[in-house]
Amino acid sequence: MKKLLFTVTLLSFACAAFAQEADTLRFITGKAMKSPALATGLSAVFPGGGQIYNGKWGKGLIFMSGECALGATAAYYYLDHSRYSSQASLDNAKRFTWFFAAVYVYSLIDAYVDAHLSAFPDERLILEPDERINGVQLSYLF
């Protein structure tokens, strides 16, 4: 049974290795890719900094406000717990700390991925008639 499993796994990897198509993605010529390391570093130090570096000002402001609000709320509940020794305050502080950590990690990942994708074309989703194919063309606009 182990030999069969090993053989199937080996064949799967071998088939996948030779089944690759040529890269069909295209880059915008003349546009340099943003540095993913710098974007992640800025996002780690300054809330929303990586998104602002990538040119996504709205997203950067949303991350900045979210991280600041969650951090301030967690700090408020920790201070409330230290003053009054309330278990409810400690529970709320821990909950908001976890929310803050989740938004912080998501912000880092978003800045990193967005920097990697910065050299790709920015196509928008638009539904419009296309006379060349005598039909309708769908492209992305947000």
Whole-model pTM: value is 0.66
In a domain, residue 93? The reply is yes
Taking only the tens place, the pLDDT of each residue in 117-135 is 887 765 555 556 677 777 7
- The whole domain housing 67 covers 32-117
In a domain, residue 45? The reply is yes
Question: How far apart, in whole angstroms, are the C-alpha atoms of residue 142 and residue 140?
Answer: 7
pLDDT of res. 23: 46
Taking only the tens place, the pLDDT of each residue in 50-95 is 999 998 899 999 999 999 999 999 999 999 999 999 999 999 999 9
pLDDT interval class at 99 (50, 70, 90): very high
Rounded to 5 degrees, φ, ψ at 126 are -130, 135
Better pLDDT: 34 or 32: 34
In a domain, residue 134? The reply is no
Highest-confidence segment of 18-22, 96-100, 134-138: 96-100
User: How many domains is the chain partitioned into structurally?
Assistant: 1
Better pLDDT: 67 or 138: 67
In a domain, residue 5? The reply is no
